[in-house]
Amino acid sequence: MQLIRRVAAAFLLCLVMAAPAALPGQAAPSPAAEALRVFLDCNTFCDFDHLRREITYVNWVRDRQDADVHLLITSQRTGGGGQEYVLKYIGLRSFRGTEHEVKFTTRQSDTDDEVRNQQTQRIGLGLAFYVAGGSLANRVRLTYTALAADSAAPTQAPKDPWNFWVFRVSANTHFSGESQSKRNNISGSLRADRVTERWKFRASLGGNRSHSSFQLSDSSTFSSTTKSYNIGSILVRSLGDHWSLGMQAEGSRSTRNNYDLQISLTPGIEYNVFPYKESSRRQLVFIYALGVSYSNYRDTTIYDKLKESRPTQSLTAAAEATQPWGSLFAQLRASNYLDDFSKNRFSIDAYCSVRLVRGLNLNVNGGYSRVRDQLSLLKAGLSDEEILLQLKQLKTDYYYYGSVGLSYTFGSKFNNVVNPRFNNSGGGGGGNCFCEGGSCFCS
């Protein structure tokens, strides 16, 4: 519990420091003969090496306080499986108070190269306003590629033979081994989406099978196999800029969780304090759901049940923000069974990254769950192998995780040079980063 208190204290410090960090002291304006200084703050897929190679008429700087323009890039998934990118230009120093946005969408089938080329083109268009007032304006040209002659007629809404439906099929296998152990895993999924301004529908089907075998000290072999299957769908109706109604249905089967079959049907209502059109930069949502679940267990539970049905309810509050001072995500969720309020669960998850001062960032990540609703626990005891290999669900009263860190960068303020040599040697710094779902991967 002491670790939980430390993580909570650090997260509160993160919130307190966020406000003053939003108004840092500004450095002196750039000399008249110097190119525009731009700070790139990318919270999604960005190929920074490519941008620096293609957009050479600005100075890329590594700290916001040295910049004339803060370029904040966020994205969110579209109904067609692509991404909607939002480029937010925030003027600093002599451009203070000048802000605008550029939006564009990509398709699910676009390659990384096609995405980064679109990014480069739109970023350049957005920077044109700021570059026009600088010393290098006479050297910059804006070009236009004309449409084909037969395309000069007024544009019309394109015909969509798929009627907004998007499908995705995937299959994966993984295997590894050594002289005394081996493992293999097979998984697959099928997903269908249809998203319009008023309606959102998603259905998915997936399965996973894992097998492991170990040679023990007495030369015997211990083998284990776990299987899980799931099916789910959600239907959402938009009710204006702030409200939505939804219905979620789920079914699953799991050897680890002792479910031969579990089915739930849960309608709910959602309210977003901010308009949904701002969701790529900030959200504050409240969701209340009321439903019913049916469980058919593989083996008798600690409550002497082989099957049961129970009414459920849950309340969720979630906040997410991507701002010049950093990023923040926090979620509170409480749920219980209506026929027995003692069977409940409460969880909190939070992540925060704040720029404290020039080059210094505070990063806090943590979560805690109080668990009182494990209905599917096996009545029979578990073997040591099942416990060590986590083949069956274990009884617990709580779960927690957390991390706190500081990062500090110093040195040259400019970040224009690209040198990819030995990026893949395995011994040090790379140049390309891809971030998704709170995780970043750099080469």
Q: What tens digit of pLDDT does each residue of 229-278 get? A: 999 999 999 998 999 999 999 999 999 999 999 999 999 999 999 998 88
Which pLDDT score is estimated for 417?
58
Which residue positions in the chain have pLDDT lower than 70?
1-33, 144, 146-158, 412-443
d(CA 293, CA 301): 16
Rounded to 5 degrees, what are φ and ψ at 296? -120, 110
Contact assessment for residue 297 and residue 305, using Cβ atoms and an 8 Å cutoff: yes
pLDDT at 424: 54
Are the CB atoms for 265 and 292 separated by under 8 Å? yes
**Residues contacting residue 178 through CB under 8 Å, at least 6 positions apart:** none
Q: Find out whether 349 and 330 touch, Cβ atoms under 8 Å.
A: yes
Q: How far apart are the first and last CA of the chain?
A: 37
Going from the C-alpha of 69 to that of each of 37, 43, 65, 343, 352, the distances in angstroms are 6, 17, 10, 52, 23
Q: Are 75 and 96 in contact (CB under 8 A)?
A: no
Domains and CATH numbers, the chain: 35-134 (3.40.50), 165-408 (2.40.160)
- pLDDT attached to residue 438: 42
pLDDT tens digits for range 323-375: 778 888 999 999 999 999 999 999 999 999 888 877 788 999 999 999 999 99
Buried b (16+ CB within 10 A) or exposed e, 229-238: ebbbebbbee
Q: What is the pLDDT of residue 132?
A: 83
Looking from the CA of 411 toward its CB, the CA atoms found within 13 Å total 5
**According to the model, what pLDDT value does residue 113 have?**
82
pTM passes above 0.75: no
Quick one: pLDDT at residue 23? 37
DSSP codes, 364-382: EEEEEEEE---TT-BSS--
Sign of the dihedral through C-alpha 431, 409, 26, 320? positive
pLDDT of residue 225: 92
For CA atoms 24, 415, 50, 438, give the dihedral sign. Answer: negative
